[in-house]
Amino acid sequence: RLSERPFAALGVSCGCERVAAALPAFLAAARSLAEPAKPAIIVGGAVFALNPALACEIGADFAAVEPESARRISGALLERQHL
């Protein structure tokens, strides 16, 4: 449950446009549950591999277009958090 513990980042994978249409509301709810923290939201999956700009449109902070980029982004976020 998102509201039980603070979190620095949230990763969401999405494989189809129909599900992507529901992500703006989901991401907004996740952010409100995380307050006062401001977690980074990373999205990935087939939808974002085809259209990385969609990440900004739905309110995400980063698009990971392949698994390796998700690992790099989350690693960099964790490093920055510990500085």
Banded pLDDT at 2 (limits 50, 70, 90): low
For the stretch 22-30, contacts whose Cβ atoms lie closer than 8 Å and that sit 24 or more positions apart, written own/partner, are 23/58, 23/59, 23/60, 24/58, 24/59, 27/58, 27/59, 27/60, 28/59, 30/2
Task: For 3-14, write each residue's pLDDT tens digit.
Answer: 677 777 899 999
Task: For 32-59, write each residue's pLDDT tens digit.
Answer: 888 888 889 999 999 999 999 999 999 9
Task: For 64-75, write each residue's pLDDT tens digit.
Answer: 988 899 999 988
pTM of the model: 0.84
Q: pLDDT value at position 7?
A: 77
Q: pLDDT value at position 82?
A: 65
